[in-house]
Amino acid sequence: MNNKIKVLIIDDSAVVRKILSTTLSKHKDIEVVGTAPDPYIARDKILRLKPDVLTLDIEMPRMDGLTFLKKIMTYHPIPTIMVSSLSQEGCDVTLEALEIGAVDYIAKPTSRLSSDVKDVVNELYTKIKIASGAKLKTNNNSKQQQYNKDSSCAIHTKPEQHNYTLFKGTHKIIVIGASTGGTEALKEVLTMMPPDSPSIVVVQHMPELFTRAFAIRLDSLCSINVKEGKHGDSLTPGQAIIAPGNYHLSLRRNGAMYHIETSQKPPVHHQRPSVDVLFDSVAKYVGPNAIGVIMTGMGNDGASGLLKMKEAGAKTIAQDEDSCVVFGMPKEAIKLGAVDRIAPLHKIHEHILAFLNN
């Protein structure tokens, strides 16, 4: 019993509370210690039951989930998984929740079919296990420079300054893979990239709609342009392409130009998009002109692909354990010997820029 993960379910729907509590309780390593129909009742149960993980609905009476999450992360931080609708508004609010400090999210089932509900609950079970060992977000005041579209100057200056004027060869390509905790980690790296950056391609494990909302959000914050990728898109400097949810993304070369291809081939490492699919194609077509970065996330997606990139002459970087929400994907890449440099999150952009100028 002591080894069980204690879960509190917060949802205004009695049906959802019943389904989640009943199905999650079937797992021997989960103990649903209680449920709550709104944040006020949840607050009292959190103090009394001391759960390890919360599941939190976004839309609730008396106090919405986002407001409650802010209070939780301020006064009593607990790993929290948001329950979100698959709508544009739901995606936007979920991304805000991740920014506040939620570890992860699940999308509500789109129907009441038992198979649909089962898939959601199985996903939730996996994410509860991950969340129970995740590191909660802390404010990082060590940012060095940050760019935005309104100014070519840094918003924050740093004690140790480097002059990264024009890069040596904009033909280089940067590829990044991330999963749990990756939305905020990617935001930190991409907002630090100057407007003349080489092309950047990103795989973040996210479902459809969420990747589009994520790209729009990043585009509003970054100096570089950010968009959700479409089949046939060309890679251009000063732009980051986010792999679309539910589609693998790979690179192809046509003469001196690169473009992306998307497909719905079977998942790799249970993921679509998969980091390994992107990294494998980069090893094949880009070779020593690539820089690969693997960041926070559970599992081993991207590890073997990063090794192939390194063997093809690419430079490789892994996020360090202390700054990861979940030190799974970087750890596996490091174990394989696929990594040239290990860096804390707030230093990753520096290593990218240094590689570009070598």
At 182-206, the pLDDT tens digits run: 999 999 999 999 999 999 999 999 9
Helix H or strand E encompassing 84: strand 80-84
Selecting among 11, 52, 199, 205, the annotated active-site residue is 205
Say yes or no: do domains 5-132 and 173-356 share a fold: yes
Specify the pLDDT at position 155. 42
| Per-residue pLDDT reduced to its tens digit, 275-291 | 999 999 999 999 999 99
For the chain, the average pLDDT equals: 88
Is-catalytic flag, 13? Answer: no
pTM here? 0.88
Is-catalytic flag, 205? Answer: yes
Range in 59-68, 112-121, 333-342 the model is least confident about: 112-121
Domain boundaries, the chain: 5-132, 173-356
Helix-helix angle 88-100:210-221, to 10 degrees: 60
Residue 253 and residue 257: Cα distance in Å, rounded? 6
Specify the pLDDT at position 217. 94
For residue 200, give the amino acid letter: I
CATH of 5-132, one of 3.40.50.300, 3.40.640.10, 3.40.50.2300, 3.40.605.10: 3.40.50.2300
C-alpha 153, offset from chain centre? 27
Residue 126 and residue 106: Cα distance in Å, rounded? 11
Selecting among 21, 179, 199, 323, the annotated active-site residue is 179
80-84 vs 341-343, strand pairing mode: unpaired
Contacts of 338 (CB under 8 A, 6+ apart): 294, 303, 304, 306, 307, 309, 310, 316, 318
- CATH architecture of the domain with range 173-356: 3-Layer(aba) Sandwich (3.40)
Specify the pLDDT at position 157. 34
Is-catalytic flag, 87? Answer: no
Specify the pLDDT at position 149. 65
Selecting among 38, 57, 219, 301, the annotated active-site residue is 301
| Per-residue pLDDT reduced to its tens digit, 141-183 | 444 456 666 544 444 333 333 333 344 445 799 999 999 999 9
Helix H or strand E encompassing 5: strand 5-10
Question: Cβ distance 195 to 347 under 8 Å?
Answer: no
Residue 264 and residue 244: Cα distance in Å, rounded? 11
What distances in angstroms separate CA 324 from CA 137, 141, 163, 188, 217, one per listed residue? 9, 16, 28, 12, 22
Question: Which residues pair with residue 55 across a beta bridge?
Answer: 9, 81
